Chain A
Amino acid sequence: MIEVRDLQVRYGGRLVADVPQLDVGAGECVAIVGESGSGKSTTLLTLLGLTPDAEISGHVRVCGVDVLTASPRALREIRGARAALVMQSPQAALAPATRLGTLMSRALKLHGREKVDQAKALEAVLLDPGILRRYPHEVSGGQAQRFAIALAIALGAEVILADEPTSALDVTVQAEVAGVLRGLRAERDLALLLVSHDLALVSTIADRVLVMKDGAVVESGRAAEVLAEPSHPYTRELLEALP
């Protein structure tokens, strides 16, 4: 579902992300880990063509569409409908003066999916349909994050890109959101690309891991192996930093 080759992203000549290879298939979960500024979020945004000011080289295919050469119209069709982004700060990502129900209806209408059962999508992330009557400031961070995931499901996303989906949440809520993501991946054969510095989360959900530092991929491989026997010193540092 996601296929990246020789991707290099530069801002003003400075290389901020260099990813030689990244593949995520249906039903698979890949995590990019690394500290802030390591280029992991930039990589994620590039996959949806959301880095307009950057100079990008390489090949990026998402759901069969070449993101780097696609027309704005083609990009809009993938965004949301086929590849959904779940953001770090869930409440800030919801328009403040709009009820969640209105947000969802508008998003569905935009992609011609008015007939989708909203309640069912909410059920999949363990949310009560009553939440649709609330405003973003009236829901908790965990609820907002699960709502964002429900939205992706309702829109029929095949790929979910999650940028630090749990870092703004309480520990108990983190587990809840991680559980939802894990469940969906299995049930719906979703391709899940996760960006996180939360190695605990990564170890419970990811099949494969890419470790990034200063824009470069320093280590990659099966999650269990990388986390159990890290070969790169930086990965060891990350692991030692775990509480």
Chain B
Amino acid sequence: MTDVQPLRRTLPRIPDRFAAFGALLIVLIVLAALLAPWLAPYPLDEPRPLERLQPPDAAHWFGTDQVGRDVLTRILYGGRTSLLIAGAVLGVSAVFGVALGVVAGYAGGLLRDLIMRITDVFLAFPALLLSLALAVVLQPSVNTVILAIAVTWWPWYARLSASVAASIATRPYVDAARCLGVPAPLIILRHVLPNSLTPVLVQLSLDAGGVILTSAALSYLGLGAQEPTAEWGLMVQQGQTLFTTNWWVVTFPGLAILLTAFAFNVLGEGLRNALDPRRAVK
């Protein structure tokens, strides 16, 4: 007897497999970045003018750049910068945005209006444009990139968690807590916040790729990490004029950005499918 169960059973697992695949990629990328000093075949800053613009070969897997630095080495180290930026931006945005959003969502009324209108003001600026302005005003550096992107990123978390918190606030267990005389700050901390975190988690993993892309874009425009910091966007920018003659200088850092953004998106998408009961296949 042919059993239809296996197919039906595998279907719901597909999203989880995607998530697992994304998570695996991210673990590999993070490990590569963390272990850069041991994995990298060459020291980070060792220009070898005689070996400049070598195409990929056995000695330099990803070739060398215009001053003779090993591209693979710089990509491995560059991952540290990109992941640091992504982690810092999302950490700051999530903590700040979620804190404001949860309070706004739970409190409702005037307080919510106030917080959400401030949020709207920040949302009204195109993210990249505001980051550009900030990066121009401040000294271009990795810290500037983090600050600039975080300023444009937190409102999304405020908005997301405000809407989730508003729906949590009407759950019977929140009413029950209110009936027990639990003060509002405690209700927010113990009930609203922990139960609002799932969508934030999904959003974080979906956003990580976007932050890395944005930071690469800022660096590419010369407003982020500065030479000799190894950073993917900066490497793409410096290699772009060589694309037709020495494709490897720009292609490999570009692929690194693509792969990382892809991995985070796959993880986020998978998490969303796995955690959203409405999408779950029974």
Contacts and interface: CB of A to CB of B under 8 A. Distances in A.
Q: Real complex partners, A and B?
A: yes
Interface of A: 48, 50, 75-81, 84-85, 87-89, 92-98, 106-107, 110-111, 148, 151, 155
B139 interface: no
A76 B181 contact: yes
A67 to B, nearest CB: 13
20 contacts: A50-B175, A50-B178, A50-B179, A77-B181, A78-B181, A79-B179, A79-B181, A80-B180, A87-B175, A92-B172, A92-B173, A93-B173, A93-B175, A95-B173, A95-B191, A96-B195, A97-B194, A97-B195, A110-B180, A110-B182
A173 to B, nearest CB: 18
Given A84-B180, A95-B191, 10 more contacts: A76-B181, A76-B183, A80-B179, A80-B182, A87-B172, A88-B172, A92-B173, A93-B175, A94-B176, A106-B190
B48 interface: no
A110 to B, nearest CB: 6
Contacts of B172: 87-89, 92-93
A110 B190 CA distance: 13
B195 A80 contact: no
B106 to A, nearest CB: 12
A85 B181 contact: no
B179 A85 contact: yes
Contacts of A77: 181
B117 interface: no
B134 interface: no
B113 to A, nearest CB: 15
A94 B177 CA distance: 9
B199 to A, nearest CB: 16
Contacts, number: 60
A50 B180 CA distance: 11
A59 to B, nearest CB: 21
Contact of B173 (A76, A96, A107, A151): A96
B9 interface: no
A19 B116 CA distance: 39
A105 B175 CA distance: 18
Contact of B181 (A75, A97, A148): A75
Interface string B59-76: 000000000000000000
A85 B176 contact: yes
Nearest to B187: A95
Interface string B164-175: 000000011101
A91 to B, nearest CB: 9
Contacts of B191: 95
Contacts of A81: 181
A50 B182 CA distance: 13
A242 B51 CA distance: 93
Between B177, B181, B186, the greatest number of chain A beta carbons within 10 A of the residue's beta carbon is seen for: B181
Contacts of A95: 173, 176-177, 190-191, 195
Given A95-B191, A97-B195, A110 B181 contact: yes
B37 to A, nearest CB: 41
Contacts of A92: 171-173
Contacts of A75: 181
A48 B172 CA distance: 15
A148 B175 CA distance: 13
Among A77, A80, A111, chain B packs the most CB atoms within 10 A around the CB of A80
A72 B222 CA distance: 55
Contacts of B176: 85, 87, 93-95, 148
B173 to A, nearest CB: 5
Counting from the closest, the 7 A-B pairs by CB-CB distance are: A80-B180, A76-B181, A79-B181, A93-B176, A85-B179, A92-B172, A93-B172
A84 B176 CA distance: 9
A148 to B, nearest CB: 8
A88 B175 CA distance: 12
